[in-house]
Chains A and B, each alone.
Chain A
Amino acid sequence: MRLTVAGTQKDYEDGLTVAKLIEIENVETPAYVTVSVNDEFAASGTFETTVLKDGDIIEFLYFMGGGQ
Chain B
Amino acid sequence: MASAMAFTNEQLERYSRHIILSEVSIKGQKKLLAAKVLIIGAGGLGAPAALYLAAAGIGTIGVADADAVDLSNLQRQVIHTTQDLGKAKTLSAQETMLAINPEITVKPYQTFVSADNVMSLIDGYDFIIDGTDNFPAKFLINDACVLAQKPFSHAGIIRFKGQLMTYVPGSGPCYRCVFKEPPPPDAVPTCRQAGVIGAMGGVIGSLQAMEAIKYILGKGDLLNGWLLTYDALKMEFRKIKLPVNESCAVCGKRPSITRPLDYEQAVCDLK
Q: How far is the CB of A16 from chain B (nearest CB, A)?
A: 21
B209 CB within 8 Å of chain A? no
Q: How far is the CB of B192 from chain A (nearest CB, A)?
A: 8
Q: Which residues of A (38-65) have their CB < 8 Å from a CB of B?
A: 39-41, 44, 59, 61-65
The answer to whether A65 and B162 have CB atoms under 8 Å apart is no
CA distance A23 to B158 in the complex (A): 23
B interface, size bucket: 35 or more
A57 closest partner in B (C-beta): B241
CA distance A44 to B183 in the complex (A): 13
The answer to whether B268 and A66 have CB atoms under 8 Å apart is yes
The answer to whether A41 and B158 have CB atoms under 8 Å apart is no
B180 — which chain A residues lie within 8 A by C-beta? Answer: 44
The answer to whether A68 and B162 have CB atoms under 8 Å apart is no
User: Which has the most chain B C-beta neighbours within 10 Å: A6, A7, A31, A64?
Assistant: A64
When A39-B241, A67-B45, A68-B131 are in contact, do A32 and B187 touch as well, CB less than 8 Å? yes
Q: Chain A binding site: helix, strand, loop or mixed by DSSP? A: loop
When A39-B241, A41-B243, A61-B179 are in contact, do A67 and B135 touch as well, CB less than 8 Å? no
When A39-B241, A68-B268 are in contact, do A63 and B44 touch as well, CB less than 8 Å? no
A13-53 vs B, Cβ < 8 Å mask (1 yes, 0 no): 00000000000000001011010100111001000000000
CA distance A32 to B177 in the complex (A): 14
Give A contacts to B, CB under 8 Å.
Answer: 6-7, 29, 31-32, 34, 36, 39-41, 44, 59, 61-68
A-B complex: 7 closest residue pairs judged by Cβ atoms: A64-B156, A66-B191, A68-B43, A68-B133, A68-B269, A67-B133, A66-B158
